[in-house]
Structure 1
């Protein structure tokens, strides 16, 4: 076996840091984290100049990037373009995300993802955010396309999961029954509640039936009240539930995020998602979403994306910037902020060989500098 050894940076293994150590990879997999004097003599050495070598970032919600939106034409090429647009910011694995659209678009996205996950180009599954959402919490989605889950939809999703490997579907509690959630979960589909105006009791019932997560916590959902906890309260209280958060300074006030981080209990954790649109990785100032123009507006921690009426329409943030926000604004230790972009999303998505650097893991890597800027990435041990 040919070995490559990475030295010169602190190594974050998905849980903790290793100092004065080397990362050994071979055949695209992690072989060991070892002392500097114990590396194979014949190994190729990659000398890094300080910073941190981490598992590559994993993003469970990416609508677009590199100038492409998945909804504009779901295809393997569109997915590769989106993944390539996010790679300079440290993301080595992502779920291209289709927002509420017609049935033909969902079918095309499933077909495209089935092909795209076979490559070593950063696509690790598919996220269908709709059409089974609640019009009352539509956000930037088209309410006229929203509808309840039908039993045939359950069959379609389970078959798609079998073909793709990782399928995440966002649904409103109002649009899916507990029986359907249980069937989807037993079929390996990851069900996440979102764009929902449900009660905490309705959310709990679906969590107990197998729903695993909540999509962009706080946004487009029933809020936490002291007598009506809503979906937010149910998500924070239920120990099995994982919650994606958009940490860009626009979607959620940092005080609310800090409180949520302290409040979340159980195995389920909060993890970062970007909810990024096509402008990430480009200098473009607008794009079209379902026939409506979305504008990039400067201000705050990073620019934001809005419709004509001011409605937020996804984000303009990348994963490295999100981690910086976690450290600098949310006051997280760097290790925890990195977990929220690596180990936690990997565990939520059941990506057993990603998000960590223990022996046997894929050598999907990112090197970040002290300013938490991505300097280089590797996919399966190959420079990307």
Structure 2
């Protein structure tokens, strides 16, 4: 079925705003961006309004809609998380599985393989955040479950990377100082996307991992040592390596707006990615939930354990975009790229996603004047927010 979306201001090719234009969609892809007056009269028109922008891509989504991936490592859990975040403009996501038992991780890997085979809406792969972390920077992760990477882990992860469709990725967050260089080499060779996180690595160790193919940093600033004059660490490398990708949780709790501004100005906005690190509370009314046996409480936009440790976030991508524009001195255009194009580049799917241009998948979001989501499309199939 061919149809055209009309009536919105279009963020064309992630660079230019177009008024009076239409986006023509056929078989799930954008086939043209053309003046409305030039449309073939036979093409069905669907009216929208406000801004039409590329769909948001979130590479760190622990849960949503009352579901945590660790608790529901199955196709139903993945689908429910995607549906909850779609209401906030996320049309592509990596369900994120945090440190857990080896058996549970195998379940998550199997669920990802099956969800990919079933073409779960918006699924772009999986993010394994741990368990190959540094206990000294554990955050909310259970230190009893943090462990070294072994040959079976490498086999499972590389097998999944091989089995997934070519437009999906396995993303692993690890502490480079806790993983053998040969293991990093094997994962990179298999096409796995690696990020440093929950790490106390020296700058030299990070630089070495980057040279081996590490792509960047998971939730920059959080669960890593701060930059100091004689020990710049991961943050210092991130600031001075504009080719690295950095995830930013712009909920205004995980990092100060001043720190986030400093990171963007030092590194440059390109390859800075908005992520949510969202837990099950997003799109869900309950203010408490269990995370690996610990009670987590939502209050004033923060999720914390009883000892005050931050436990992921209550953030959605639309709110992340608004916070970035309103609090970080970033233009709307750049914030939209941070939510779409740069994550697509990180996942190496920028030839398919992250732009409104002919040939790309029709993953789109409509925003009103306040940057709230008024509609979304995944592979050309439109569904209003739930």
- Alignment TM-score, normalising by the size of structure 2: 0.95
| Distance in 2 (alpha carbons) for counterparts of 1:178 and 1:360 | 39
Q: Which runs of 5+ in 1 are unaligned?
A: none
Per the alignment, residue 364 of structure 2 pairs with 365
Larger CA deviation: 274-283 vs 115-124: 115-124
Per the alignment, residue 233 of structure 2 pairs with 230
The answer to whether structure 1 residue 297 and structure 2 residue 317 are counterparts is no
The answer to whether structure 1 residue 354 and structure 2 residue 353 are counterparts is yes
C-alpha displacement at 1:20, in angstroms?
Answer: 2.4
Q: Which runs of 5+ in 2 are unaligned?
A: none
Per the alignment, residue 189 of structure 1 pairs with 192
SS in 1 for 2:144: helix
| Distance in 2 (alpha carbons) for counterparts of 1:42 and 1:101 | 54
Kept after mapping to 2: 8 A contact 1:14/1:342: no
Q: Deviations over 1:155-186 (max 9, x none)?
A: 22111111233100000012112222222111
Per the alignment, residue 324 of structure 2 pairs with 326
Per the alignment, residue 157 of structure 2 pairs with 157
SS in 1 for 2:86: helix
Q: Deviations over 1:332-359 (max 9, x none)?
A: 1111000011101011011231111221
1:178 to 170, 176, 181: 181
The answer to whether structure 1 residue 38 and structure 2 residue 68 are counterparts is no
Per the alignment, residue 59 of structure 1 pairs with 58
Q: What is the correspondence of 1:123-142 to structure 2 with a 5 Å cutoff?
A: 123-142=123-142
| Distance in 1 (alpha carbons) for counterparts of 2:12 and 2:219 | 26
Q: Deviations over 1:99-134 (max 9, x none)?
A: 000011111111111121232412211000010000
Kept after mapping to 1: 8 A contact 2:14/2:356: no
CA shift in 2, pair 1:183/1:370, >3 Å: same
| Distance in 1 (alpha carbons) for counterparts of 2:141 and 2:262 | 28
| Distance in 1 (alpha carbons) for counterparts of 2:183 and 2:19 | 48
| Distance in 2 (alpha carbons) for counterparts of 1:265 and 1:35 | 34
Per the alignment, residue 288 of structure 2 pairs with 286
Alignment coverage as a number of residue pairs: 377
> Over aligned residues, Cα RMSD in angstroms?
1.3
The answer to whether structure 1 residue 277 and structure 2 residue 279 are counterparts is yes
SS in 1 for 2:111: helix
| Distance in 2 (alpha carbons) for counterparts of 1:21 and 1:87 | 25
SS in 1 for 2:70: helix
Q: Deviations over 1:184-204 (max 9, x none)?
A: 111100011100011101000
- Alignment TM-score, normalising by the size of structure 1: 0.95
C-alpha displacement at 1:383, in angstroms?
Answer: 1.5
Larger CA deviation: 316-325 vs 116-125: 116-125
Per the alignment, residue 254 of structure 2 pairs with 251
- Runs of 4+ aligned structure 1 residues displaced above 4 Å come to none
Per the alignment, residue 29 of structure 1 pairs with 29
Per the alignment, residue 345 of structure 1 pairs with 343
Per the alignment, residue 307 of structure 1 pairs with 305
SS in 2 for 1:252: coil
Larger CA deviation: 278-287 vs 3-12: 3-12
Per the alignment, residue 263 of structure 1 pairs with 266
| Distance in 2 (alpha carbons) for counterparts of 1:181 and 1:13 | 38
| Distance in 2 (alpha carbons) for counterparts of 1:57 and 1:40 | 30
